[in-house]
Amino acid sequence: MNYFPDEVLEHVFDFVASHRDRNAVSLVCRLWHRVERLSRQRVFVGNCYALSPEILIARFPGLKSLTLKGKPHFADFNLVPHDWGGYVQPWIEALSNSRIGLEELRLKRMVVSDESLELLSRSFANFKSLVLVSCEGFTTVGLAAIAANCRFLRELDLQENEIDDHSGHWLSCFPDSCTSLISLNFALPLETLQNILMRAPQLVDLGTGSYIHDPDSETYNKLKHTILKCKSIRNLSGFLEVAPRCLPAIYPICLNLTSLNLSYAAGIHGSELVKLIRRCAKLQRLWILDCIGDKGLEVVASTCKELQELRVFPSDVLGVGHAAVTENGLVAISAGCPKLHSLLYFCQQMTNAALIVVAKNCPNFIRFRLCILEPTKPDPVTMQPLDDGFGAIVQSCKHLRRLSLSGLLTDRVFLYIGMYAEQLEMLSVAFAGDSDKGMLYVLNGCKKLRKLEIRDCPYGDKALLTDVGKYETMRSLWMSSCEVTLGGCKTLAKEMPRLNVEIINEHDQMEIGSEEQRVEKMYLYRTLVGPRKDAPEFVWTL
């Protein structure tokens, strides 16, 4: 390969798309490293504190698309204090001061200020795509800057962010003709929906907001007619407030939909949902609430033969209601949807028998996340832990990359995971296991493990310290409400200088020097740049 000019190598590398593969390519030799890095356009940074913007810019001068993730995953569930970190501002500043022609920015769990958005909108003439998932810190002022200044904006995807002001006024900042816009994934109020659809008829992704209207009203009728013209819509989401009688307006586009997100639509009853879904035969991705019920999931199973990803969220988070979906719904889906590979399923109960059947029906799972709403709930029929059920899943699904466990579980399930889950990259554990063995099985067995997050499990210093080298092969480890002590964490930090071992010390619980004291929250990650300088005072980097 040394005889090829760089351009040929580069051309060959163009066919290598995934980050992993490109990272592997760059390790072959210096020449390949150089050619690869100069030609790389898309970079994924799974932990914004693993490196610095300067390192990124120096290595990849041709960067066009950057994905950045900030806070640990459990921050989504209020386990991480708000001001922990994850600020995007330094990144945008550094990028804007460089020659990088950024076109796409995808952020997850980061703090994004209006100032950052404004700077972003002014710094990159060709900016095309902004995706913010589970971020916070910005308002519609920042969004207005994006709408107004990014002339070539194609995609604006805002999912589950904490945005301050929900007025639609900023939407009027879009230019009159957004021929480039193909994706607007956030809650568009109905009045502006109409407006936007007129300006951007080629929309492929669309989010809707309040969708309550009198079906006889003029606005509604106009909307109906406009939607009819939007033949290109493939992904539909939103529906935060919905009048079921208005749903028929979207029936005409149902047949073309490949992705439908109804998971905020608590106002729609199961029967209405079912009527809608019966028309969506091409669905590949469905996010829905559990009020669809097991029966509704049977309809999904019989209608949506192309289904690849299913997420069933709980509609009753306070637990005052009745059972909505159980193992039966999942079994029906597994039997009817052969292409299913990603699952997130919140349910009242699960049985080993059902999981075993699901494992057999769907050996192609890549992501399997099961959340039984009540922690440590056993199989209600046998009163056994769910070790065998999950064991069947990991044994059957040889490509499983992500797994979330729940229900009553002993160390045995981790033995199975360590033995069988060879491709596992991310594991989420809560209220499970009996002893350090559990964690050790996983650390020893899962060679490809990258992220491990554990809460409320009896794992202590022994589990933490048995194989410290493992953590440099992983992106991060989160442990909260476990048995690790301050002394154990300090030992780990001392032995592994290239890890940041952060202790989150809220409520002034810890005193310096009390080595046996349990650490409430620990987050460690590998990094090239040492302890971060923006940590708040309640975060100690050991």
Partner 1 sequence: MSSPLLRAVEGEQSDVSLVASSPTVDSSQNGSGLKERNYMGLSDCSSVDSSAVSSLSVEKNNNLNLKATELRLGLPGSQSPGRSSLNTGKLDEKPLFPLLPSKEGIYSSIQKNVVSGNKRGFSDTMDVKNSVYTAGNWMFNSASESESPQSVEQGKFSGNSGMNVVPSSRPSGAQSSIMKEFPGNLLQEHHRATIGTSHNHKTASNNNNSAPAPKAQVVGWPPIRSFRKNSLATTSKNNDEVDGKPGPGALFVKVSMDGAPYQRKVDLRLYATYQELSTALEKMFSCFTIGQCGSRGAPGKEMMSESKLRDLLHGSEYVLTYEDKDRDWMLVGDVPWEMFIDSCKRLKIMKGSDAIGLAPRAMEKSSNRI
Minimal distance, residue 27 CB to partner 1, in Å? 30
Select the residue interacting with partner 1 from 267, 295, 422, 529 (CB under 8 A).
267
Does residue 241 interact with partner 1 by CB under 8 A?
Answer: yes
| Strand-strand pairing, 104-108 and 65-69 | parallel
Neighbouring residues of 119: CB distance < 8 A, sequence distance ≥ 6: 89, 92, 93, 96
Select the residue interacting with partner 1 from 52, 315, 326, 342 (CB under 8 A).
315
Decide: residue 19, CB within 10 A, 0-12 exposed, 13-18 middle, 19+ buried. middle
Select the residue interacting with partner 1 from 127, 170, 220, 346 (CB under 8 A).
346
- CB environment 428-451: b (16+ within 10 A), e (fewer): bbbbbbebbbbbbbbbebbeebbb
Q: Where are the alpha helices (DSSP H) in 201-305?
A: 218-229, 251-254, 270-277, 293-303
Closest CB to partner 1 among residues 227, 415: 415
> How many Cβ atoms are within 10 Å of 139's Cβ, its own excluded?
16
Neighbouring residues of 383: CB distance < 8 A, sequence distance ≥ 6: none
Closest CB to partner 1 among residues 172, 382: 382
Neighbouring residues of 117: CB distance < 8 A, sequence distance ≥ 6: 138, 142, 143, 145, 146
Closest CB to partner 1 among residues 153, 510: 510
> How many Cβ atoms are within 10 Å of 312's Cβ, its own excluded?
27
Closest CB to partner 1 among residues 10, 316: 316
Collapsing DSSP to helix, strand or coil, 370 comes out as strand
Closest CB to partner 1 among residues 180, 376: 376
Residues 478-497: x where in contact with partner 1 by CB under 8 A, - otherwise, as a string: ---xxx--------------
Select the residue interacting with partner 1 from 51, 335, 366, 468 (CB under 8 A).
335
Neighbouring residues of 85: CB distance < 8 A, sequence distance ≥ 6: 49, 70, 71, 111, 532, 534, 535, 536, 539
Residues 500-539: x where in contact with partner 1 by CB under 8 A, - otherwise, as a string: ------xx--------xxx--------------xx-xx--
Closest CB to partner 1 among residues 98, 113: 113
Minimal distance, residue 490 CB to partner 1, in Å? 16
* Position 397, amino acid: C
Residue that has been written with the tokens 């969220």 in this structure? 313
Q: Taking contact as CB under 8 A, which single stretch among the options 1-9, 17-25, 370-378, 468-476 is the one that binds partner 1?
A: 370-378
Does residue 248 interact with partner 1 by CB under 8 A?
Answer: no
The candidate with the shortest Cα–Cα distance to 403, out of 432, 435, 434, is 432
Whole-number CA gyration radius for the chain: 24
Compute the distance between CA of residue 377 and CA of residue 386 in angstroms, rounded to an integer. 9
Q: Taking contact as CB under 8 A, which single stretch among the options 64-72, 136-144, 276-284, 468-476 is the one that binds partner 1?
A: 136-144
The candidate with the shortest Cα–Cα distance to 70, out of 449, 429, 525, 493, is 525
Select the residue interacting with partner 1 from 52, 123, 352, 500 (CB under 8 A).
352
Give residues 390-409 in contact with partner 1 (rule: CB under 8 A).
391-392, 395-396, 404, 408
Give residues 440-479 in contact with partner 1 (rule: CB under 8 A).
440, 455-458, 460
Does residue 359 interact with partner 1 by CB under 8 A?
Answer: yes
Does residue 55 interact with partner 1 by CB under 8 A?
Answer: no
Give residues 89-128 in contact with partner 1 (rule: CB under 8 A).
89-90, 111-113, 115-116
How many residues interact with partner 1 (rule CB under 8 A)?
A: 104
Does residue 431 interact with partner 1 by CB under 8 A?
Answer: yes
Give residues 179-218 in contact with partner 1 (rule: CB under 8 A).
none
> How many Cβ atoms are within 10 Å of 25's Cβ, its own excluded?
19
Closest CB to partner 1 among residues 35, 86: 86
Closest CB to partner 1 among residues 200, 268: 268
